[in-house]
C-alpha cells in the first residue's frame, strides 16, 4: 500500500473512531456515540484544537490488556513506542532486527487512526552490547549509525509521522553530552543523522529531543543555538521536543515562553514525554497539585500555534516507568492503576475543552483597539477604533459556540458585537446589541498564517470580515463589514490581533 493511500485510510479510520466507537470484540460499530459524547475524549477535544495528544506505549500491555488498548485508542490520536524502537530492542544481534514489538505498535496505531512518533534514532543509551563493546574504526561506526537510521526510517516510511532523530544530546551546563557518537564521530554526527533521516524518509518530521530544557538555563540556550545554527546550514531540523518529566514541585512557569522562543526559529515544538511524579504515597493534596502542573503544560502548548503535539509518557500508573527509575516516587500519570481518571486527567480534559478567552482586539494596520464609544451600555452604538488603553470599553469576551466560531461580548456591558440588521451588504455597520444568539452575532476566527494571535473575524451570516472603515488609521474610525481581503500585497488589512487568543482556538 502506498503511503498516500495508507494515510488516507488512517484519516478515514480516525474519523470513524471519533463518531462511531469500538465494539467489545474490537470491531468498528458505526452509529454508536453521538457527536456530543464523542467530544468527551482527549483525542476528539485535541483534534478540534488542531493538536495531537499522544501517549508512550508499552508493547506488553498493548498485547495482553484489553482495557489498556481501549483507553489508548479512545483517548489518544498519537503514540510513541516507549522502548520498542530503541536500538538495543530492535537489533540485539548485528544485522538481525527484532521488529515484532515496534510493528505491533505501528499496526495498532494505523488501525486506530493514530500518528506514530518514532523514538529514538540516535541516543547515548539503550545501545546493544555488540555495538558498545565492538572494535570498530571510526569510519565503520559512522557507517553502522547511518545504516541503522536508514533501516529504521525506510521500514516505517509513510507510517511514522515524526522521529526523535537525536535524543538527549546535551549536558545540564550546555555542553554536548559525551557519548560513543560525540567521542568517536565528533559533533557533526547530529547534522549527519538529520540528513540521513531526511534522505531515507522525506515526509517524516524530524526532531531533536531533550529534557530539562523547558525553562531558561544553559542547556536550553545551547539547544536553541544548535537548532538555529543547524537550520542556517540547511540541516533539516523540523522541530524540538521538550520531554517535560517533572515533579509536583515544578511550576512550569516558563514552558509557554520556551515553546514560543523555539517556535520563533520557524520550527514546530512539542511536549514529548510529559509526566508529573510525586512522593509516594499519593494523597488528595498531591493529586490536586499534580493536576495543576498538567494543566500548565497543556495550557502552554495550546497558547503556542506551533506546539503541534503533547505526549504523556504513559497514561496509567499501572505501567509507569517512574517507580522503577525513581524509588519512592510515582503516581505520575493521568489514570490510576485501575485505569480510572485522576484529577490530572480532568485537568487536561478541561484545558482541551476550554475555548473562551477575554482580551483586546488591535487593528494591525492602525495599532488601535476595538472600542465601545463613550463606554456606553446601550445597544445600537456602532463600534470604533481608538488608541489602546486599559478600560473595559476595549475588553471583549470571546465565547465559543461552534468550530472556530465565537460570540464577542463587551466585558463591561455584556452586549454582543453585531452586524446591524443582519445585513449582508458591504459597509454594514458593526455595533453592539443585546445577545440573542443571532447569526449576525457569530464570527468565525481565521488565523493568519505565521502568527499566534492575528485573525480575521468573519460574520457567519454574510461571510464578510470586520474592518476599520476605509482602512483608516485615525481614532474614532467606525467598524464595518467588508468582503474579506485576499490581496497578499495588503496582508494587514482586516487583521485583528487578539491579545489573549490561544494558539489553538
Q: Which residues are catalytic?
A: 168, 273
Characterize the bridge pairing of strands 384-386 and 396-402: unpaired
94 close to 111: Cβ distance less than 8 angstroms: no
Q: Measuring CA to CA, which residue among 351, 452, 444 is closest to residue 398?
A: 444
Give strand pairing partners of 371: 384
Percentages helix, strand, coil for the chain, rounded to the nearest 5?
Answer: 35, 25, 40
Here the cell at position 363 is: 487593528
Q: Tell me whether residue 132 is exposed, middle or buried, using C-beta atoms within 10 angstroms of its C-beta: 0 to 12, 13 to 18, 19 or more.
A: exposed
Nearest to 80 by CA among 167, 11, 197: 167
Q: Which three cell numbers stand for residue 41?
A: 475524549
335, 316 Cβ separation under 8 angstroms = yes
Q: Which three cell numbers stand for residue 373?
A: 464609544
* Omega of the bond leading into 281 within 30 degrees of 0 (cis): yes
* Residue pair 347/295 in contact by the 8 Å Cβ criterion: yes
Alpha-carbon torsion (63, 65, 70, 75), positive or negative: negative
Quote the cell numbers at residue 434. 443585546
Amino acid at each position: 500500500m502506498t503511503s498516500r493511500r495508507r494515510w488516507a485510510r488512517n484519516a478515514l479510520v480516525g474519523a470513524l473512531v471519533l463518531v462511531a466507537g469500538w465494539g467489545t470484540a474490537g470491531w468498528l460499530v458505526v452509529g454508536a456515540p453521538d457527536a456530543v459524547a464523542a467530544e468527551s475524549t482527549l483525542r476528539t477535544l485535541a483534534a478540534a484544537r488542531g493538536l495531537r495528544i499522544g501517549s508512550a506505549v508499552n508493547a506488553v500491555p498493548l498485547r495482553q490488556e484489553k482495557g489498556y488498548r481501549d483507553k489508548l485508542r479512545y483517548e489518544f490520536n498519537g503514540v510513541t513506542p516507549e522502548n520498542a524502537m530503541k536500538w538495543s530492542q530492535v537489533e540485539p544481534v548485528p544485522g538481525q532486527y527484532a521488529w515484532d514489538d515496534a510493528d505491533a505498535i505501528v499496526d495498532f496505531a494505523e488501525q486506530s487512526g493514530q500518528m506514530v512518533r518514532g523514538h529514538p534514532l540516535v541516543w547515548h543509551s539503550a545501545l546493544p552490547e555488540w555495538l558498545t563493546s565492538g572494535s570498530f574504526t571510526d569510519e565503520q561506526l559512522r557507517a553502522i549509525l547511518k545504516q541503522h537510521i536508514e533501516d529504521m526510517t525506510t521500514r516505517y516510511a509513510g507510517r511514522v509521522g515524526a522521529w526523535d532523530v537525536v535524543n538527549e544530546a546535551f549536558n545540564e551546563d550546555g555542553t554536548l553530552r559525551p557519548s560513543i557518537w560525540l567521542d568517536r564521530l565528533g559533533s557533526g554526527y547530529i547534522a549527519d543523522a538529520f540528513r540521513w533521516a531526511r534522505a531515507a524518509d522525506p515526509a517524516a518530521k524530524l526532531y531533536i529531543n531533550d529534557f530539562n530544557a523547558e525553562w531558561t538555563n544553559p542547556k536550553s540556550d545551547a539547544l536553541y543555538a544548535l537548532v538555529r545554527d543547524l537550520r542556517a546550514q540547511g540541516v533539516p531540523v523540523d522541530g524540538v521536543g521538550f520531554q517535560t518529566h517533572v515533579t509536583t514541585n515544578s511550576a512550569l512557569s516558563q514552558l509557554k515562553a520556551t515553546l514560543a522562543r523555539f517556535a520563533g526559529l520557524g520550527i514546530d515544538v512539542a511536549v514529548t514525554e510529559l509526566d508529573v511524579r510525586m512522593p509516594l504515597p499519593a494523597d488528595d493534596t498531591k493529586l490536586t497539585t499534580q493536576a495543576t502542573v498538567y494543566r500548565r503544560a497543556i495550557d502552554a502548548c495550546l497558547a503556542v500555534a506551533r506546539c503541534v503535539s503533547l505526549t504523556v509518557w504513559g497514561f496509567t500508573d499501572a505501567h509507569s516507568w517512574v517507580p522503577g527509575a525513581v524509588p519512592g516516587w510515582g503516581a505520575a500519570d493521568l489514570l490510576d492503576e485501575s485505569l480510572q481518571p485522576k484529577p490530572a486527567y480532568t485537568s487536561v480534559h478541561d484545558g482541551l475543552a476550554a475555548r473562551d478567552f477575554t482580551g483586546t482586539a488591535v487593528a494591525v494596520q492602525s495599532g488601535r483597539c476595538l472600542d465601545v464609544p463613550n463606554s456606553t451600555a446601550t445597544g445600537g452604538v456602532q463600534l470604533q477604533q481608538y488608541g489602546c488603553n486599559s478600560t473595559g470599553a476595549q475588553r471583549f469576551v470571546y465565547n465559543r459556540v461552534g468550530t472556530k466560531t465565537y460570540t464577542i461580548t463587551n466585558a463591561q456591558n455584556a452586549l454582543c458585537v453585531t452586524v446591524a440588521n443582519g445585513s449582508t451588504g458591504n459597509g454594514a455597520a458593526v455595533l453592539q446589541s443585546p445577545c440573542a444568539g443571532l447569526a449576525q452575532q457569530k464570527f468565525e476566527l481565521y488565523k493568519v498564517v505565521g502568527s499566534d494571535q492575528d485573525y480575521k473575524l468573519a460574520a457567519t451570516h454574510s461571510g464578510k470580515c470586520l474592518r476599520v472603515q476605509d482602512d483608516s488609521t485615525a481614532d474614532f474610525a467606525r467598524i464595518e463589514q467588508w468582503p474579506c481581503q485576499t490581496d497578499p500585497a495588503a496582508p494587514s488589512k482586516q487583521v485583528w490581533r487578539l491579545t489573549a487568543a490561544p494558539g489553538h482556538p
